[in-house]
Structure 1
Amino acid sequence: MNTINSVIEKMMDYYKGDPKRIQHFMKVYQFGKLIGEEVGLDARKQRVLETACVVHDIGIKASEEKYHSSAGNYQELEGPPIARDLLASLDYSPEEIDRICWLVGHHHTYKNIEGEDYQILVEADFLVNAWEDGMSREAVENVRKKIFATSPGIRMFETMYM
């Protein structure tokens, strides 16, 4: 089994009985994968991106248990150590794990987005969240202006929401 499928399987086990969370990360993964391929990420960045897309919300369970909230700041705080534990048993280098955990710890921070993998993760998550959260037309337009920067991400967002 390839590594990304192993991560998906572990995340499905982690969210067993929670189809909403499983379907969310699967959609973010697919949008992230597609955008990364379309912008031409190299194989290592693509692997890091795809993995981060799968595990990006891994901190939600701990956030809800500790803080009774799934707010993004709590996810960013709680997610990286859990992601690190999940990835440690798989075929990732320490540098890849560090970057994936950094992305998990910043995926709700929208200022100073640096790096293609970070930009694409945020865009993929918004492509899904805009629908799942029922964002207003005004919020959708604001997200498009302030967040989206990749050509494929913009095209997908505008195709779905504008």
Structure 2
Amino acid sequence: MNAEKISAVCQAMIDYYSGDPKRIQHFVKVHAFAKLIAEKENLSENEVFVIEIAALVHDIGIKNAEIKYHSSMGKYQEKEGPSEAKKLLETLNIDAQIIDRVCYLVGHHHTYKAIDGIDYQILVEADFLVNIYEDSLPKSSAASILFKIFKTRTGIRLLKTMYALENV
């Protein structure tokens, strides 16, 4: 049942970002890393479900942010994302409690000082794994992000392996 809902959310997001392969590629990659981290960290099925949905919709606010503010800055994504995520998820009959947590995560995924749960931590780590690559950040930036942001055993291992930071 959860797998079908995840597939439905993924397809809905692909439809939402029709014509924007960069955004589609981004959320698909963030989803893959978030799912991997959540599973390797032995989270419950429900926790993995929340993380997967949040990873798929985490940047849903970009479209409206670019229209309203002519910017995709994180603060605008956080402002515009929750209402769009709620609308999309309600059309897919996702449970209201899950929608509430996902909307919270969407509305905070660029705020790193108040990470209040493992789902939030994993979403941030997965997003960074993809953003470091997509933004072509130097190895020194990856190392700095590792120390400032990453907490999960799996996320740390992935970042260290991807950017050859084994001795850091």
Choose which of 13, 16, 26 in structure 2 pairs with 1:14.
16
Choose which of 141, 150, 153 in structure 1 pairs with 2:152.
150
Q: Give the TM-score taking structure 1 as reference length.
A: 0.97
Gaps of 5+ in 2: none
Question: What does residue range 1-162 of structure 1 map to in structure 2 within 5 Å?
Answer: 2-161=4-163, 162=165
Q: Give the TM-score taking structure 2 as reference length.
A: 0.94
Report the count of equivalent residues. 162
Task: State the distance in 2 between where 1:16 and 1:46 align.
Answer: 26
The one-letter code sitting in structure 2 at the alignment partner of 1:70 is S
Cα displacement string for residues 60-98 of structure 1 (whole angstroms, at most 9, x for unaligned residues): 010000000000000000000000000002232111000
Cα displacement string for residues 106-160 of structure 1 (whole angstroms, at most 9, x for unaligned residues): 0000102111100000000000000001112222111000100001100000001
Match of 1:16, SS state, is coil
Task: State the distance in 1 between where 2:148 and 2:65 align.
Answer: 27
Task: State the distance in 1 between where 2:125 and 2:108 align.
Answer: 13
Cα displacement string for residues 15-41 of structure 1 (whole angstroms, at most 9, x for unaligned residues): 111111000000000000000001111
Match of 1:110, SS state, is coil
Percent identical residues: 56
Task: State the distance in 2 between where 1:68 and 1:140 align.
Answer: 28
The one-letter code sitting in structure 2 at the alignment partner of 1:9 is Q
Task: State the distance in 2 between where 1:137 and 1:152 align.
Answer: 19
Gaps of 5+ in 1: none
The one-letter code sitting in structure 2 at the alignment partner of 1:42 is S
The one-letter code sitting in structure 2 at the alignment partner of 1:29 is H
The one-letter code sitting in structure 2 at the alignment partner of 1:81 is S
